[in-house]
Amino acid sequence: MFRMKLALFPAIAARVMTAAPTRPAEPSVLDAVSSIIPKTVEISRNVIFGEIWERPGLSKRDRSLITVATLLAQGSDEQHVRGHLTRALKNDVTKEEIGELLTHLAFYVGWPAVMTGALIAKDVFEKN
């Protein structure tokens, strides 16, 4: 099914099949599963972090805010939220902006998701 969807986007398909990893991305997650799903890890590194995050249409800072909001809205696991909160700080999102993002999201994704996000953010802030 994935190959069928890639066929709809030949430019991306060509890059996925030939591009070398440009840099490590979320090593704690991707490296942990690379022996199980090597192609998915390759695609993550090459397409998501190698192409999508590098597109000029949005800054990495904005992409980080969008990604954190999306992960919380989806109820993603702590490891992914933690990784992207850390990335957000590295992409010049301030702790105050993350707090404001969480406050804003409380009314759209719900209190439990935001409280979980806030606890994860607190820990990330203390370590960074």
Residues in the chain predicted with pLDDT less than 70, given as ranges, are 1-28
Contact assessment for residue 64 and residue 93, using Cβ atoms and an 8 Å cutoff: yes
Phi and psi for 81 in degrees, rounded to 5? -65, -45
Contact assessment for residue 6 and residue 12, using Cβ atoms and an 8 Å cutoff: yes
Round to whole Å and give the CA distance between 1 and 32: 24
User: What was the pLDDT predicted at 29?
Assistant: 82
pTM of this structure: 0.75
Q: What is the pLDDT of residues 40-61, one digit of tens each?
A: 999 999 999 999 999 999 999 9
CATH superfamily placement of domain 59-128: AhpD-like (1.20.1290.10)
Domain ranges of the chain: 1-55, 59-128
User: What was the pLDDT predicted at 27?
Assistant: 56
Structure tokens at 122: 């607190």
